[in-house]
């Protein structure tokens, strides 16, 4: 089984035709594949989708390479042509004939504007794109097909070529002949690659003899031969980041070999037939593979850098087998670190490691550093990098006591050492997949984790699939990290000490207490006091105190936590390029939150002076989340947040003082609602006035019976453009005349006419004339259809009684309203019919005389409502109901009626006359206009037979009638769905209903705006 460093994860699998070559983009998550069918594809490895494709030709494309600095893809095909494409614009940059036979491979120079091509014509050519893609040199020497060329990354002036003539040749740019030739394969050589790391001058080659050979190109000797494949070797290369050799064969397998020991680590078989190519990229752990049936990309190991930092700020990391160090304190006390800024640290070479480092960690006191890898561990001194101890181990972990450590030698053997001598072997009766150190030893399997003390006794088994365990410095808390969540536990050391040893395989029940379970993926993490700091799957840097998650920053690239320096109050991170940066995390803030979690709020507030003022709002929000809103109010500095807290606490005095400072209408309205719900009506009125909340004020004044307030509200609302509120306030005050004047003033002429018809019939004729005159400017024909009650009284039945009811209503409104405790005696009186009351009052002789006219002409609006003397009570007037303030009049005895026979005879004669008159009317105009119909509908009763007959209009020809009907239909087609008819046509040019008037029927709000 391969060590954890070489664990393989498949990232992409695409089924296609035969893939002859693959390449990885150095910066984008792209995989390039050139196909035997003549196409070139670019897949997104993150989205698992095809993002770009090029139809190159009808013949096989045997090679394609990215040129990232030019945004190009260069291809070579069996038609002997080289094509250059821009992969952003998809334009074809250049096409030219490069060889006289199939083009096998392209190699792009890492720095120069040049690339090499090799072909079945046995030639290698150098092309310069800055010189118009001219061929600047031809290399001759091979006697068979040249299968691959590759530049030396350590000396880019040289390159190597592999040929079916059984040889590998090394060349220099500018020299026509090869520097030397390597021979050792029995058959043709298909592939060649250079080793990129360390000082080893190695080449790797793969041949049709099924062998892979490692060459020292300085001594020109073969240092190793790798055997294992069952067919021709089609691809072989060194991984640029890992100690791996990757080989692919026509037997359908890819083999991973250790780069130092040459041990076979893994064999991959994706069942996609023959392997044709393998691609790697510097800075990435990914490997691309081209098959007969498609392309695959895998990720080997982890991309997290192998690094460790001690408590003093000394950082050690491993680049391959080379060990380097930096010291954060070397920046000096005067250096001001900025969050997210790369630290300018001087790198010092410390030495090399005997084993390839898969993990590197300091012991707690920082004196020793352990390197673990290749199945071995080595303990070095941190200062001189001298070997202190070594042994066999797949994994290594230090104790909280710097003198003890634990190693996992296999899945069944875990050993504990003290003072570099073996102490004991743990009895592990399950497959141990990993170990972790700290205050207890943690041994995990695939389904559970078992904690042991450092004497080998079982403390507790926890059934959770863990991948990491991290202890706080005090040993009181531990984080168990899973694949999709993490658990914060409290370790009860006293309970464990009291229980002693136990034979129960599950350990001691109360050894741990679950504090929090948080569903978030943890990348890297560490403890600072009682604060758990971690980076998540979205690369956000968070910290958790008491289950409360706070985001410190959003990282712009993958970064990994190193440690925390309390003196500088900063947490340090490292990226894949070994660049260090830091972010501020105040220790005082962590201590304060820790005390709050322990219930010591007073002690936490005592630390507040140590916390910068800009962090106080964060402290306040934490206090609020923990149920200490009153303390949060005293700590917070943001006035908006303090206002919200004061409202939440019901502290009206504090909220009022903050609202005074903010002077925000929204805040005043919010405070007003709270004051009214708390019974503070005076404060509520003040807040609503400052918020200009006219609707709220009307509700308050109406509920209070505050006549003076309503009177003032009519003026304020009108001035503020809230005419709907002003209208309703006037209506509640019983000022129907002023309601009518407001409708006229705001241009709501149709509404004014219907309002007068219902409440002020004495003004109906005047308003109709104004409406008609206004409508004539837009639609004269529609204006002619409006009926004036002075001209057509027969269309307004009971008009005389409506006028008398108006007189009665005016008299009733002048009376005082009854006390509220008398409501039961008057309940239902508002449902009386005013016309019936007027008839009863006239029969009894108690009907009041009509008052003299006091209003100005409708064309000249009346004075503002506030200047008119108001009635004594607040009452809602209506012509259909009795006044709120008046008591019902006693009913008189009914008058004697005439003989039924005489009445019936008179009615029949009058009906016959009426029918004759109506026949004449309909002959002249077969169909009345829509407005006339609506006016007649407003009357709601048949015409009174005692009224004078309607003057018959002039007779018209049939043709004119038909034309008029068509015109009327067109005129009123748009008004067919509403209840106003021509009223809307008249009102449209006068005023526009505001969008915020949807809640009322009048639409008056912004008519003056």
How do strand 434-436 and strand 368-373 relate by DSSP bridges?
unpaired
Contact 512, 538 (CB under 8 A): no
In angstroms, the CA 221 to CA 692 distance is 93
Tokens of 177: 């002949």
pLDDT for residue 909 = 58
Beta bridge partners of 541: 535, 553
Residues β-bridged to residue 163:
146
Contact 572, 328 (CB under 8 A): yes
Paired tokens of 198: 């360390």
Burial 354-385 (b: 16+ CB within 10 A, else e): ebbbbbbbbbbebebbbbbbbbbbbbbebeeb
Token pair, residue 905, equals 């005879």
For residue 238, list its beta bridge partners: 245
Angstrom distances, CA of residue 191 to CA of 63, 76, 161, 267: 13, 17, 8, 19
- 556-591: b or e for each residue (b if 16 or more CB lie within 10 Å)? eeebbbbbbbeebbbbbbbbbebebbbbbbebbbbb
pTM recorded for the entire structure: 0.62
Neighbouring residues of 450: CB distance < 8 A, sequence distance ≥ 6: 430, 442, 443, 444, 458, 460, 461, 462, 507
What was the pLDDT predicted at 547?
84
Residue 8: per-residue pLDDT: 87
Asked if 524 and 535 count as a contact pair (C-beta separation under 8 A), the reply is yes
- In angstroms, how far is CA 792 from the centroid of its own chain? 67
List the Cα angle 193/195/197 in 5-degree steps.
155
Residue 38 · residue 58 · CB < 8 Å: yes
Beta strand 72-77 with 81-86 is: antiparallel
Radius of gyration of the CA atoms of the chain, in A: 47
DSSP states of 785-809 as a string?
TPPPTTT-GGGSTTHHHHHHHHHHH
* Closest-CA residue to 990 (of 972, 971, 1003): 1003
Asked if residue 42 lies in contact with residue 51, where contact means CB atoms within 8 angstroms, the answer is: yes
CA dihedral sign of residues 453, 457, 462, 468: positive
Q: Report whether 234 contacts 228 (CB < 8 A).
A: no
Query: Contact at 8 Å (CB) between 488 and 479?
Result: yes
Query: Distance between CA 485 and CA 547 in Å, rounded?
Result: 13
Identify the three-state secondary structure at position 891. Answer: coil
For residues 779 and 472, what is the distance between their CA atoms, to the nearest angstrom? 86
SS3 134: strand
CA distance linking residue 719 with residue 713, whole number of Å: 10
Instruction: With H, G, I as helix, E, B as strand and everything else as coil, classify residue 143.
Output: coil
Strands ordered across the beta sheet of 49-55 = 19-24, 30-35, 39-44, 49-55
Q: Which regions of the chain are under pLDDT 50? A: 1-4, 852-901, 904, 916-1009
CA neighbours closer than 13 Å in the CB half-sphere of residue 682? 0
Rounded CA-CA distance 431/964 in Å is 99
Output the CA torsion 4→8→11→17 (10° steps): 170
3-state SS, residue 471 = strand
d(CA 268, CA 783): 91
Sign of CA dihedral 979, 980, 981, 987: negative
Read off φ and ψ for residue 616, nearest 5 degrees: -65, -35
Separation in Å, CA 960 to CA 529, 766, 782, 924, 952: 98, 32, 17, 11, 17
């Amino acid at each position: 089984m391969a060590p954890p460093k070489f664990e393989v994860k498949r990232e992409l699998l695409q089924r296609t035709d035969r893939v002859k070559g693959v390449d990885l983009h150095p910066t984008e998550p792209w995989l390039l594949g050139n196909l035997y069918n003549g196409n070139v594809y670019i897949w997104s490895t993150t989205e698992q989708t095809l993002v770009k494709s090029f139809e190159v030709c009808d013949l096989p494309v045997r090679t394609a390479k990215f040129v990232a600095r030019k945004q190009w893809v260069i291809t070579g095909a069996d038609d002997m042509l080289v094509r250059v494409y821009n992969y952003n614009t998809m334009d074809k940059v250049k096409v030219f004939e490069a060889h006289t036979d199939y083009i096998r491979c392209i190699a792009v120079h890492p720095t120069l504007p040049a690339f090499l091509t090799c072909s079945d014509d046995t030639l290698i050519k150098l092309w310069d794109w800055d010189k118009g893609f001219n061929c600047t040199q031809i290399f001759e020497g091979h006697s068979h097909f040249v299968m691959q060329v590759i530049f030396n990354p350590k000396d880019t002036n040289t390159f190597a070529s592999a040929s079916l003539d059984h040889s590998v040749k090394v060349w220099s740019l500018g020299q026509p002949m090869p520097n030397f030739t390597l021979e050792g394969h029995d058959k043709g050589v298909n592939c060649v690659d250079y080793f990129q790391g360390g000082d080893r001058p190695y080449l790797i080659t793969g041949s049709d003899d099924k062998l892979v050979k490692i060459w020292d190109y300085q001594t020109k000797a073969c240092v190793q031969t790798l055997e294992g494949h069952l067919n021709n070797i089609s691809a072989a290369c060194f991984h640029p980041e890992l100690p791996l050799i990757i080989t692919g064969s026509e037997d359908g397998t890819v083999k991973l070999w250790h780069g130092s020991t040459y041990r076979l680590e893994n064999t991959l078989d994706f069942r996609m037939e023959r392997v044709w190519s393998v691609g790697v990229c510097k800075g990435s752990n990914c490997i691309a593979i081209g098959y007969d049936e498609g392309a695959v990309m895998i990720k080997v190991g982890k991309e997290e850098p192998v690094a460790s930092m001690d408590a003093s700020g000394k950082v050690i990391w491993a680049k391959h087998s080379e060990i380097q160090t930096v010291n954060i304190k070397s920046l000096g006390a005067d250096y001001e670190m900025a969050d997210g800024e790369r630290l300018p640290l001087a790198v010092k070479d410390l030495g090399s490691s005997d084993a390839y480092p898969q993990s590197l960690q300091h012991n707690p006191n920082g004196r020793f550093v352990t390197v673990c890898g290749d199945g071995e561990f080595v303990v070095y001194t941190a200062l001189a990098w001298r070997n202190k101890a070594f042994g066999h181990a797949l994994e290594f972990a230090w104790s909280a006591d710097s003198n003890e450590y634990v190693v996992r030698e296999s899945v069944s053997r875990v050993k504990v050492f003290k003072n570099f001598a073996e102490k004991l072997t743990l009895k592990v009766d399950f497959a141990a997949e990993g170990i972790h150190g700290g205050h207890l030893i943690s041994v995990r399997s695939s389904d559970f984790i078992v904690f042991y003390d450092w004497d080998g006794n079982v403390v507790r088994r926890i059934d959770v699939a863990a991948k990491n365990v991290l202890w706080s410095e005090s040993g009181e808390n531990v984080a168990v990290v899973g694949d999709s969540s993490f658990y914060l536990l409290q370790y009860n050391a006293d309970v464990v000490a009291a229980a002693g040893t136990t034979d129960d395989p599950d350990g001691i029940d109360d050894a741990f207490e679950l504090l929090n379970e948080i569903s978030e993926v943890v990348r890297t993490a560490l403890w600072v006091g009682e604060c758990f700091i971690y980076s998540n799957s979205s690369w956000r840097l968070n910290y958790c105190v008491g289950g409360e998650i706070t985001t410190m920053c959003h990282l712009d690239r993958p970064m990994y936590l190193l440690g925390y320096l309390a003196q500088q109050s900063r947490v340090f991170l490292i990226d894949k390029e070994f660049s260090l940066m830091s972010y501020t995390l105040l220790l005082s803030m962590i201590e304060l939150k820790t005390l709050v979690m322990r219930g010591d709020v007073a002690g936490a507030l005592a630390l507040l002076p140590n916390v910068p003022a800009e962090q106080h709002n964060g402290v306040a929000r934490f206090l609020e989340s923990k149920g200490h809103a009153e303390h949060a109010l005293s700590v917070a500095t943001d006035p908006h947040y303090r206002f919200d807290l004061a409202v939440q606490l019901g502290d009206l005095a504090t909220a009022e003082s903050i609202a005074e400072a903010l002077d925000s209408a929204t805040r005043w309205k919010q405070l007003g609602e709270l004051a009214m719900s708390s019974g503070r009506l005076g404060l509520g009125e003040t807040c609503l006035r400052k918020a200009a909340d006219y609707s709220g004020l009307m509700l308050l004044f109406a509920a209070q019976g505050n006549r003076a307030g309503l009177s003032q509200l009519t003026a304020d609302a009108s001035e503020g453009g809230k005419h709907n509120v002003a209208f309703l306030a006037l209506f509640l005050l019983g000022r129907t005349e002023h309601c009518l004047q407001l409708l006229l003033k705001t241009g709501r002429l149709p509404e004014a006419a219907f309002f007068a018809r219902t409440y002020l019939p004495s003004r109906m004729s005047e308003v109709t004339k104004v409406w008609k005159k206004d409508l004539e400017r837009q639609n004269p024909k529609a204006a002619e259809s409006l009926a004036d009650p002075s001209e057509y009284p027969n269309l307004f039945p009971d008009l005389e009684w409506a006028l008398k009811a108006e007189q009665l209503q005016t008299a009733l409104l002048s009376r005082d309203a009854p006390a509220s405790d008398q409501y039961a005696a008057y309940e239902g009186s508002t449902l009386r019919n005013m016309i019936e009351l007027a008839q009863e009052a006239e029969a009894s002789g108690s009907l009041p005389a009509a008052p003299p006219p006091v209003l100005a002409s409708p064309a000249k609006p009346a004075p503002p409502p506030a200047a008119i003397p108001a009635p004594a009570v607040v009452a809602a007037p209506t012509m259909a109901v009795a006044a709120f303030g008046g008591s019902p009049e006693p009913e008189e005895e009914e008058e004697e009626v005439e003989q039924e026979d005489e009445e019936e005879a008179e009615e029949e004669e009058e009906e016959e006359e009426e029918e004759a008159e109506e026949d004449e009317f309909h002959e002249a105009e077969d169909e009345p206009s829509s407005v006339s119909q609506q006016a007649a509908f407003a009357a709601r009763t048949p015409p009174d037979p005692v009224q004078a007959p309607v003057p018959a209009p002039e007779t018209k020809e049939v043709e004119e009638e038909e034309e008029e009907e068509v015109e009327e239909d067109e005129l009123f087609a748009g008004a067919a769905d509403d209840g106003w008819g021509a009223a809307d046509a008249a009102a449209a040019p006068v005023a526009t209903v505001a969008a915020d008037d949807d809640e009322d029927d009048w639409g008056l709000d912004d008519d003056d705006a």
